[in-house]
Amino acid sequence: MRASGEVELLVLDDLGAEHRTPWANEKLFQLLHHRYNAMFPTVITSNRMALEGRDHRIVSRLHDRELVRQVIMDEAQDYRVCLSGMQAG
């Protein structure tokens, strides 16, 4: 976990797909809080539902318009669906 906090660029893919436990939520908060305070770049991918029910401390950091840039790709196709169609055919 320590290395995740110190890497130059951290990418968290599919936030919200993890198993949410109080321990996991706290570790995610600690990681994001550290990187937020250090102003380290972090890329997070998720669907729009990923923040529902999330700890308010995490949500507040992800909504800071000074440090966070949001890219919404509503029109993007799910590549997993495309791949599964190719495998079936």
32-78 residue pLDDT tens: 999 989 989 999 888 766 777 788 888 888 888 887 887 877 777 77
Q: CA-to-CA distance for 82 and 77, rounded, in angstroms?
A: 8
pLDDT at 88 over 90: no
Q: CA-to-CA distance for 78 and 29, rounded, in angstroms?
A: 28
Sign for the CA dihedral angle at 83, 10, 58, 39 comes to negative
pTM of the model: 0.71
- Cβ-based neighbours of 36, under 8 Å, separated by 6 or more: 61, 64, 67
Structure tokens at 10: 């951290």
Phi and psi, residue 12, nearest 5°: -105, 110
